Structure 1
């Protein structure tokens, strides 16, 4: 092989690693909570399983100025929410992003997100070797999780 063909092979391998890696990550039951006109933030929820283990290192969407992974947890008697730069996805384990726990936070919304529409989300993952890959999703907008019991409310899902 010449130098040029080796470079082409390396570039092809680098491009292939993203999509191949993304196939080892499964996202289920994804949804984004509906909003009303003027509301500036909402949450996104899903279950993520990484076959080989990975880390969720980023999220983006054109509908929000800011999209981050957040964690809600009790500190004493106060529920606190904070952004987390990285969410570990242990090999074979399902990590649930849900109300009251880890979730996606979409802030500075550019428009209302009405029920029965979809939101494009791009998740960025990193494997154990530091190789990054993205996964593009179209996520339904809903009042409650898909398959939730009739009458379930977002407040009930937060358990407070």
Structure 2
């Protein structure tokens, strides 16, 4: 009887009866900024849309290109822009979170190997209900329009 119950539960799960937050999420335009040679870190950016009827949180990000992955934000502290890890990225019901240079983003820290333009970095997001969503972020060369002011040389 126990095996029948486990089998029935697995069928319900695979049929989507226990749909999680990840099923309500659409990720648009994911990309990783091509890091300069020998740079130890870079960022990933995208728009995460919540098509569901309840607020959700991204609580974790993982990838295979770096040893450490963190959710980050840029903050202005006394006129100085600083990056800080955040516990989660909140996405309101029917809303979106814009991950962009100078704001919320995914930090890829301690890169395992040099990246090339056109490479694809798989990033897996975990939501507050435990569900996950994998997105493929293409490595792109930064342009003046997306490079933060801190990277400009004078």
Q: Same fold (TM over 0.5)?
A: yes
Per the TM alignment, residue 125 of structure 1 is displaced from its structure 2 partner at its CA by: 1.3
When residues 118 and 78 of structure 1 are mapped into structure 2, their CA distance, relative to the original with a 3 A threshold, is same
Please provide the CA RMSD for this pair: 2.4
1:31 is aligned to 2:24:
no
8 Å contact kept, 1:99–1:157: no
When residues 133 and 154 of structure 1 are mapped into structure 2, their CA distance, relative to the original with a 3 A threshold, is same
- Describe the SS at the equivalent of 2:148: helix
8 Å contact kept, 2:34–2:115: yes
- Describe the SS at the equivalent of 1:85: coil
When residues 78 and 36 of structure 1 are mapped into structure 2, their CA distance, relative to the original with a 3 A threshold, is closer
Per the TM alignment, residue 30 of structure 1 is displaced from its structure 2 partner at its CA by: 0.8
Give the TM-score normalised by structure 2. Answer: 0.84
Per the alignment, residue 155 of structure 1 pairs with: 148
Structure 1 regions of 5+ residues with no counterpart? 145-149
Q: Deviations over 1:66-85 (max 9, x none)?
A: 00100101122111211112
Of 65, 68, 72, 1:66 maps to: 68
Per the TM alignment, residue 119 of structure 1 is displaced from its structure 2 partner at its CA by: 0.9
Per the alignment, residue 44 of structure 1 pairs with: 44
Stretch of structure 1 that moved more, 88-97 or 4-13: 4-13
Structure 2 regions of 5+ residues with no counterpart? none
Per the TM alignment, residue 29 of structure 1 is displaced from its structure 2 partner at its CA by: 1.1
Per the TM alignment, residue 10 of structure 1 is displaced from its structure 2 partner at its CA by: 2.7
Size of the alignment, in residue pairs? 149
- Describe the SS at the equivalent of 1:132: coil
Per the TM alignment, residue 21 of structure 1 is displaced from its structure 2 partner at its CA by: 3.8
